[in-house]
Amino acid sequence: MPKGIRKIHFSFGEKNITRFGGMYLIHKFCQKIKLKWYLQRYVEFHQYHQSYQASELILIILYSIIVGILRIDTTRPLQYNGVFQKLMGIKRYPDPTAIRRFLHRLPPRVIRQIVKVHNLLQQKLFFIQCPKTSVIFDIDPTVVTVYGKQQRSKVGYAPKKRGRKCYSVFLCFESNHQEFWLGSLQSGNISPVKIALRFLKDCIAKLPKSIRRIRIRADAAFFSGAFIEPIDEEGIGYTIEVQITNPMKSRFQIIKYSSYREGWEVGEFYYLPTSTRYKWKRMHRFVIERRPLPEDPEEKTQLKLFEMKGYGYRVVITNLPLKPRHVWNFHNQRARGSELNIRELKYNYPLSKVPTQSYTANIAYLQILTFAFNIVNWFKRLCLSGKFRYSTLQKIRQDLLVIPARLVRSGQKNILQLPIGYPYQKLFKQTEKEIEHMKEF
């Protein structure tokens, strides 16, 4: 039987090792899109008596998020990661207090400048590989529970943490590329309808002039005549889930259904909704989906359907000139769009980790976080191949970014030494080649 090593001597003198060897690829991609140059040019924020430029601190936060450091307080291990510091071009990594202080000092003017850089790069990258004349926006609010005295956090609708203070985060994703498009941090008790029109107008304002057709998908939080009828008049296509009312239920049994799939059925009816807050001006088209209820009570709960006489129902309001089955095919794509993206932001990005008690600082962090989401999204779309193009960030971290490595100098070359048994060598080399061949911006 082979014997193991009985005694190991150790020292603490190594400076050029890292567990994030694959971040070289992200760093090279960011160089190719000239991210630091754009930040230096457009973000005007001078820190007196500080060791870091604003552009460096923004990049530090972006990279920390991408490698999986989900809280500012846990960035400390990067202070003794020599390779990470050399990639960044800094002498030492800032401690968590310096990062948090930087976020606190950012005024709204500078946050807008960071967003401007994000938008400029998005405009340049959006049409690469796939020219478009239409977009589909998936719009969703989500709740972020807080556990301290964060400014403007309020008790709102938080189904999993009832009675706790929270923020409402309004998010818009462009469905074709699964890109983050716009985000807004609001008090937890705000009604989605109150800001919905303004939020959508901001989304549309970002669109290139070549886009001629806009369609949106949204959940029942946006079911209001105050939102729907104005966008109808603008010629924007939509499917929006409906909060089912008693007058609406009376129609479920008399409309004609047609077969959809696996025992599901679809139908349609026209109806003038009533509301105490808004007087609807005309009748609208509603498309209904019904399915037999499963016997398992737990499965019933997960489906979140309106139940009546052995069936579960879902209803959308729409102005799309499609047959009912195609309306539902279109609307159900939302589950693979915004819902998955929000889950990704909460579990693989730190959307649910509110970093400070300052409302403005938390807005800044949200904008940097969503910037990181798009950097990874652009990297996947433009540089990765096969299944990795559609992978979660956690999968990409596990297989591509979190790799032990050593940076050495040999002759006139810097060499990043990776493990001999690394199973994705071919992918790593191919990705590096794809980045190399990218056009600079």
Average pLDDT over residues 8-29: 84
Q: pLDDT class for 229, splitting at 50, 70, 90?
A: very high
CB of 216 closer than 8 Å to CB of 139: yes
pLDDT digits (tens, 9 = 90+) for 277-313: 788 999 999 999 998 887 655 554 545 677 777 788 8
Q: Which residue, among 184, 188, 159, 181, has the nearest Cα to 170 in the 3D structure?
A: 184
Under DSSP, the state recorded for 159 is T
| Number of helical (H) and strand (E) elements in the chain, helices listed first | 15, 14
Q: Determine which of 70-79, 114-123, 358-367, 384-393 has the lowest per-residue pLDDT on average.
A: 70-79
Locus of tokens 């956090």: 153
Alpha-carbon distance of 407 to 218, in angstroms, equals 48
Query: Quick one: what percent of the chain has pLDDT higher than 90?
Result: 60
Asked if the model's pLDDT at residue 243 lies above 80, the reply is: yes
pLDDT digits (tens, 9 = 90+) for 338-382: 889 999 999 999 999 999 999 999 999 999 999 999 999 999 999
pLDDT digits (tens, 9 = 90+) for 76-107: 878 778 887 887 778 788 888 989 999 999 99
Locus of tokens 């909460």: 346
DSSP string, 64-116: HHHHT--SGGG-GGGGG-HHHHHHHT-SSPPPHHHHHHHHHH--HHHHHHHHH
Show the DSSP H helices in 176-235 as ranges: 192-205, 225-233
Provide long-range contacts, Cβ within 8 A and 24+ apart, for 389-397. 392/344, 392/348, 393/66, 393/344, 393/348, 393/349, 394/68, 394/347, 394/348, 397/67, 397/68, 397/348
Q: pLDDT class for 3, splitting at 50, 70, 90?
A: low
Domain ranges of the chain: 17-109+355-437
- Measuring CA to CA, how many Å separate 218 from each of 49, 331, 395? 47, 9, 28
Amino acid at 142: T
Alpha-carbon distance of 339 to 157, in angstroms, equals 18
**Three-state secondary-structure class, residue 313:** strand
**What is residue 304's predicted lDDT score, i.e. its pLDDT?**
64
**What is residue 253's predicted lDDT score, i.e. its pLDDT?**
81
CB of 208 closer than 8 Å to CB of 122: no
Q: pLDDT class for 49, splitting at 50, 70, 90?
A: low
pTM: 0.92
10 Å Cβ neighbour count for 142? 18
**What is residue 397's predicted lDDT score, i.e. its pLDDT?**
95
Average pLDDT over residues 18-30: 92
